[in-house]
Amino acid sequence: MDIRISKESEVPIHEQVVAQIALSIGAGELKPGQALPSVRELARRLKIHHNTVSRAYQDLVLQKLMTRRRGSLLVVSQPGESECLPDVKDLDDLINETMQAASRRGYTLQQLRQRVRERMLAEPPDHILVLSADSGMRVLFEMELKETLPYAVESCSPDQLAANPGLAVGALVLSPPASMREVVSILPKDRSPIPIVYTPADQHVELVRDLQRPSLIALVSISEYFLRTARGVMAPVAGQLHSMREYFLTAEDHPDNIGAADISICDSVAYRVVLSRAKGGKVVLHRMIARECFDRVSAIMTDSASDDSLGEQP
């Protein structure tokens, strides 16, 4: 099968592939029942992205020129043969048809499930899954990611991911350093998690160090981990000169004396609460995720989107 493509042409590459295979079938160069190269093999031959070949093959199946056989094998259709699914109303209908088609060909539901999961794991990520064992940190991570990056974001604990690895399907997984080893053992080897890089607290430390008189320092967060870490970082600089007080916020509990401190160091959620109640003190926002981490995630997601569309542009 001789296929030639031009990446400079205004005609999308997948359309060039479809047209040339269709012509080969129509001209009898490809015979009924003859197998075509696998998606990756043809992509390698033509030096184009495998998604481009996959799209071309899907178009040929829809045109009834090709038929799917056992596994991923594609062959030229026999006269009168059709593999097109009937019209479906929604995703559930499509799933039902797929399950029935697999069953007719002797596949078990377990085999179908495993293969679908493998294929989905191989696809480029289309959203972010952020992990933390601390429920408050999950809220903070998710909030900061959504405010900074234009991608869908979900969150769960490492234990939840271990119990249901399917949560990582289609996701770029972000993990705190403490959970990396556990998460790496859960994910496929080619889908390593991205470590979350924390923002340093140097500015907050210097702010407290510059205080000339005894002051009240408030640490305010919806996360116990945030408070525990902030306490350990700020204790040496506060020393015996300053007092520290911690406020753990819940959806139902916002203490009345919040905002009375000379300096309140807050997470992204607590910052808004304290700012609205501040009584002359300084309210400081500490974002957990560092800028460099956002940049890395954005670059990976952008590269994935580019790889997914590689070869589709004229």
According to the model, what pLDDT value does residue 277 have?
Answer: 87
C-alpha to C-alpha distance for 72 and 77, rounded to whole angstroms:
15
According to the model, what pLDDT value does residue 225 have?
Answer: 93
Residues 47-102: pLDDT tens digits? 999 999 999 998 898 888 888 876 567 888 876 544 444 455 678 878 888 888 88
According to the model, what pLDDT value does residue 294 have?
Answer: 96
Short-list 138, 293, 275, CA closest to 200? 293
According to the model, what pLDDT value does residue 114 have?
Answer: 81
According to the model, what pLDDT value does residue 312 have?
Answer: 46
C-alpha to C-alpha distance for 59 and 53, rounded to whole angstroms:
10
According to the model, what pLDDT value does residue 232 have?
Answer: 94
CA distances from 303 to 195, 198, 249 (A): 18, 23, 38
CA distances from 124 to 40, 56, 190 (A): 16, 19, 11
Rg (CA), the chain: 28
Task: Taking the CA atoms of 49, 53, 59 and 61 in sequence, report the sign of the dihedral they define.
Answer: negative
Choices 3.40.50.300, 1.10.3470.10, 3.20.20.70, 1.10.10.10: CATH for 13-84:
1.10.10.10
> Which numeric CATH code is attached to 123-197+293-308?
3.40.50
According to the model, what pLDDT value does residue 305 have?
Answer: 61
| Positions in the chain short of pLDDT 50 | 81-86, 309-314
Burial (CB < 10 A; 0-12, 13-18, 19+), residue 132, is buried
| Model pTM score | 0.63
According to the model, what pLDDT value does residue 89 have?
Answer: 61
Angle at alpha carbon of residue 275, lines to 270 and 280, rounded to 5°: 135
Question: Which H helix or E strand runs over 272?
Answer: helix 268-275
Short-list 181, 137, 149, CA closest to 162? 181
End-to-end CA distance of the chain: 23
